[in-house]
Amino acid sequence: MEHQNIIIFDGECNLCHWAVNFIINRDPHHRFVFTPMQSDTAKSLIARYGVEGEYSDTFFLIKNDTCYMRSDAALVITKHLSGGWPALAILTFLPRRFRDFFYRLLGRNRYALFGRRDTCVLPTSDVLSRFID
């Protein structure tokens, strides 16, 4: 895969859609590209990195041939965003198990809290090049 920073997200989740837009708006150097979890590319990458078990409550970051999930993915992403967001990296001092407990809680309830789409949202023409599939 030619892209080094791929974010895999749930294309049917309103919260995930918001998060993708949030990242795009704070990624002036276009470090990240995106693919919905429902795409063939995402399925292939998830299999390639040997992700097992239930992972529908998360998004992934593939960076430098490493697959990050849940809070690890979110914190690595924030390091590259404009504004004060890189400061959130300090949260990595908290144990992953603790961080992921809250991440999974939000992930399991995201449809109830933020809603769900029947289909993936198509990106606008100005950011279309940032999407795979």
- pLDDT averaged over every residue in the chain: 88
Q: What is the pLDDT of residues 54-100, one digit of tens each?
A: 777 788 999 999 999 999 999 999 999 999 999 998 999 999 999 99
The answer on pLDDT for 1 being more than 50 is no
Q: How much of the chain exceeds pLDDT 70, in percent?
A: 95
- pLDDT tier, 126 (very low <50, low <70, confident <90, very high otherwise): confident
Give yes or no for residue 124 having a pLDDT over 50: yes
Question: How does strand 33-36 pair with strand 5-9?
Answer: parallel
**pLDDT of 87:** 95
Angle of CA points 12, 29, 9, to nearest 5°: 15
Q: What is the mean pLDDT of residues 93-116?
A: 90
Which residues span the domain enclosing 62?
A: 5-130
The whole-number pLDDT of residue 122 equals 67
Residue 112 has pLDDT above 50, yes or no: yes
Lookup result for tokens 């809603």: 115
User: For the residues 34-58, what does the mean pLDDT come to?
Assistant: 87
What is the number of structural domains in the chain?
1
Which range, of 20-29, 55-64, 120-129, averages the lowest pLDDT? 120-129
